[in-house]
Amino acid sequence: MKVEIVRDTGTGYFGTTTARTNVPQGKKLELTMQNLCSTLGIKKIYWTISSREAKYYRPDGPYTYQ
More confident residue, 8 or 12: 8
pLDDT of residue 57 exceeding 80: yes
Q: How confident is the model at residue 16 (pLDDT cuts 50, 70, 90)?
A: low
Give pLDDT, residue 45.
94
Which residues make beta-bridge pairs with 55? 49
Mean pLDDT, all residues of the chain: 82
Alpha-helical regions (H) of the chain: 27-40
Taking residues 12-41, what's their average pLDDT? Answer: 76
Q: Which amino acid is at 12?
A: G
Cβ neighbours around 11 below 10 Å, total? 7
